[in-house]
Chains A and B, each alone.
Chain A
Amino acid sequence: MRTTYRVLAYLIVFLVVVQAAAIAYFIAGLGEWIMGGGVLDAATMESESTFFPGLIGIIIHGMSGTYLIPAVALALLVVAFFAQVPRGVMWAGVLVGLIAVQVALGIAHVPVLALLHGIVALAILVVALIAARAASGAPVGPAARADAVA
């Protein structure tokens, strides 16, 4: 269970890195496309077709951010109940909370909140790293001591 906890926490770290890379790819692709004569309006944006390289970035960012990362965080919380990781439940709970805030910021459609979205991303990254490292040390608690004896 501790290993599962560690793997899930590192998976969140990895997925946050993917989020940053994907959105940067999208912004760069969009900029290049517009400078090359591309015109974007709501109808084009909603057409769900790939009209420039990098568009896949926003799709990955949206799907992973809305579905995958929250699912992994929930799984981490459930695993935390069983894995005797020091403050494991707390860190998993903090991650679930931060990710809920992050999803809300992501779909808020208030541009200035995107500043916060970028900052909360780093907080998720750091907390996920702390959680993963907490599960890397020696086990704690009575059960862990029993394991250690055995």
Chain B
Amino acid sequence: MRVRPRFVIAVGATLVVLAPLAWLQQASLLPGSYSVMDMGVVDTGGAALGHHRHEDGVGRGVDTIVETATDPVVHVELAARKDGDRYTLNGTSPGPEIRVEQGQLVEVRLVNESVPDGATLHWHGVDVPNSADGVAGVTQDAVPVGGSFTYRFLARQVGTFWYHSHQLSHEQVRNGLLGAIVITPPGGVGATDVTALVHIYDGTRTVNGRAGDSPAAVGPGERVRVRVVNTDEGPMPVWVSGSEFRLVAIDGTEVQGPTPVRDVAVLVTAGARADLELVVPPGGARVEMGGSAALVLGAASARTSRPARTLDPLSYGTPADIGFDPAAANRRFDYVIGRRPGFVDGWPGVWWTINGGMFPDVPMFVVAEGDVVRMRIENTSGEVHPMHLHGHHAVVLSHNGVAATGSPWWVDSLDVPDGEMYEVAFRADNPGIWVDHCHNLPHAAEGLMAHLMYEGVTTPYRVGHEAGNTPE
């Protein structure tokens, strides 16, 4: 039988259309498990490549980078459970607030009672030793049901932080495996100290687990520090009805010379914290969390809608020494976020890219201890991204080319809207392997996750379903 030319042409045309797609799909498949040491496009930021590959297995394992101080002062046991869709710690969500004084050695033992996929705890904003960072597959294995893991770190910083699981975090954090950790200076902060951990459960915004208005037991004339923690996936505007206030800390670092402001919103991005201080007026005040929940201070007062203005930390407060010279940076990185159609682990979609590469072809930012690092974070992806670097605080140098003129603006979670660009700098002073990702956690699961790799550091842990570690 003669094969019709038309049929041959049709088969050829089909191959022309489908073969490249099939090839791209197959090429995107991730191995069952992999080490982050082998993952990504090595970027040395303009410095010579040192020893980072460790094919010979030489190097400091992340599990050996531990807190050297001994004799824990604060010991906490947290039991993680899954009840239906909800995750709890010691039976509650949010989990118990951990409150310690600066200088105390903290020891937290996580016991997984019934989280089937395993769990970890990440100390968001606390620059802990790498072994205590809690990223499944990078700094530890996810803790299986019946297992436990002990985190030890010295409370060097002062400020508002939070903890959450970094195993299947896009699901476990959304459904409650989180809590606040507050480190106070010895003697307190000179004000009534109120934590306002904000989380959306099933579409309802809550403050410390309570929907709507949450009253705080404070009276008129009382000075109050409100520690706002945004544990959700996107930026939340916070403003104060009925009073002026000062933005006294961002991401656990005190703002220098914070001036009183009013009728202005503070944008608290996903994962970020903002400490607001105010003196409760006789008529009361409200700290509005995006307008759908509030912390009520003193007498009941009227709610207001979001002020038109948003406070810009770039020019707020007074300048101060940051302790290093960003002009002397010896590593310069770009973190450019884009978006295009393609495949990630076999799934078609319109996925995020970092410096043009789709996961896992995202950068591995290589540094050495002692480096001064500058990073340009640019977003061309169409959506806002709250960018979170583990283990370090970076200082904002400029925003869309405008240099910072206010208080040193130290961040661990930076809101980078579409079409905008920030330049930040930090000292590489905390050796380890640190993920640097979008804290809209589903975005991280979609591949918006790179990592910072110190030369001479290795990890024995592996990411992937075969290893049981899914940090996103």
Chains A and B form a bound pair = yes
A46 to B350, CA, bound (A): 17
- Within B209-255, which residues are at the interface with A (CB < 8 Å)? 230, 232-237
Are A143 and B233 closer than 8 Å at their CB atoms?
no
B200 in contact (CB, < 8 A)? yes
A118 in contact (CB, < 8 A)? no
Are A43 and B10 closer than 8 Å at their CB atoms?
no
Chain A residues with CB below 8 A from B2, complex form: none
Chain B residues with CB below 8 A from A42, complex form: 234-236, 384
Of the listed stretches A6-14, A21-29, A76-84, A121-129, chain B binds: A76-84
Are B17 and A77 closer than 8 Å at their CB atoms?
yes
B418 in contact (CB, < 8 A)? yes
Scoring B201, B203, B382 by chain A CB atoms within 10 A of each residue's CB, the highest score goes to B203
Of B4, B204, B230, the residue contacting A51 (CB under 8 A) is B204
Are B350 and A49 closer than 8 Å at their CB atoms?
no
Are A81 and B10 closer than 8 Å at their CB atoms?
yes
| Contact A43:B13 (CB < 8 A) given known A38-B292, A107-B350, A109-B418 | no
A74 to B290, CA, bound (A): 43
- Within B326-357, which residues are at the interface with A (CB < 8 Å)? 339, 341, 348-350
A39 in contact (CB, < 8 A)? yes
A20 in contact (CB, < 8 A)? no
Of A41, A51, A74, A77, the residue contacting B234 (CB under 8 A) is A41
| Contact A44:B383 (CB < 8 A) given known A67-B349, A78-B14, A103-B350 | no
Are A43 and B230 closer than 8 Å at their CB atoms?
yes
Chain A residues with CB below 8 A from B383, complex form: 109
Q: How far is the CB of B177 from chain A (nearest CB, A)?
A: 15
Are A43 and B233 closer than 8 Å at their CB atoms?
yes
| Contact A48:B7 (CB < 8 A) given known A41-B236, A78-B17, A109-B382 | no
Chain A residues with CB below 8 A from B440, complex form: 46
A74 to B348, CA, bound (A): 13
A82 to B6, CA, bound (A): 8
Q: How far is the CB of B234 from chain A (nearest CB, A)?
A: 3
Are A43 and B200 closer than 8 Å at their CB atoms?
yes
- Of all chain A residues, which has the CB nearest B21? A74
- Of all chain A residues, which has the CB nearest B237? A41
| Contact A43:B382 (CB < 8 A) given known A48-B174, A66-B350, A82-B10 | no
A62 to B418, CA, bound (A): 19
A43 to B267, CA, bound (A): 11
Are B17 and A48 closer than 8 Å at their CB atoms?
no
Q: How far is the CB of A89 from chain B (nearest CB, A)?
A: 8
Scoring A47, A49, A78 by chain B CB atoms within 10 A of each residue's CB, the highest score goes to A47
Chain B residues with CB below 8 A from A107, complex form: 339, 350, 382
Mark contacts of B253-274 with chain A using CB atoms, 8 A cut-off: 1 yes-contact digit, 0 otherwise.
Answer: 0000000000000000010000
Q: How far is the CB of B281 from chain A (nearest CB, A)?
A: 24
A90 in contact (CB, < 8 A)? no
A59 in contact (CB, < 8 A)? no
A33 to B381, CA, bound (A): 29
B460 in contact (CB, < 8 A)? no
Chain B residues with CB below 8 A from A89, complex form: 13
Are A39 and B350 closer than 8 Å at their CB atoms?
no
Of A47, A50, A77, the residue contacting B232 (CB under 8 A) is A47
Chain B residues with CB below 8 A from A50, complex form: 203
Scoring B200, B204, B382 by chain A CB atoms within 10 A of each residue's CB, the highest score goes to B200
A112 to B234, CA, bound (A): 24
Chain A residues with CB below 8 A from B374, complex form: none
Are A81 and B14 closer than 8 Å at their CB atoms?
yes
Additional A-B contacts beyond A46-B232, A67-B349, A74-B17 (18; CB < 8 A): A39-B292, A41-B291, A42-B234, A42-B235, A42-B384, A43-B232, A43-B234, A44-B232, A47-B174, A47-B203, A47-B234, A48-B233, A66-B350, A77-B17, A78-B17, A81-B11, A81-B13, A82-B14
**CB within 8 Å of B: which residues of A?**
38-39, 41-52, 66-67, 74, 77-78, 81-82, 84, 89, 103, 107-109, 141, 143
**CB within 8 Å of A: which residues of B?**
4, 6-7, 9-11, 13-14, 17-18, 21, 174, 198, 200-205, 230, 232-237, 270, 290-292, 339, 341, 348-350, 382-384, 418, 440, 442
Q: List 26 A-B contacts (CB under 8 A).
A: A39-B290, A41-B235, A41-B292, A42-B236, A42-B384, A43-B200, A43-B205, A44-B200, A44-B203, A44-B205, A44-B290, A46-B270, A47-B200, A47-B203, A48-B174, A49-B174, A51-B203, A52-B203, A66-B349, A78-B17, A81-B9, A81-B10, A82-B14, A107-B339, A141-B6, A143-B4
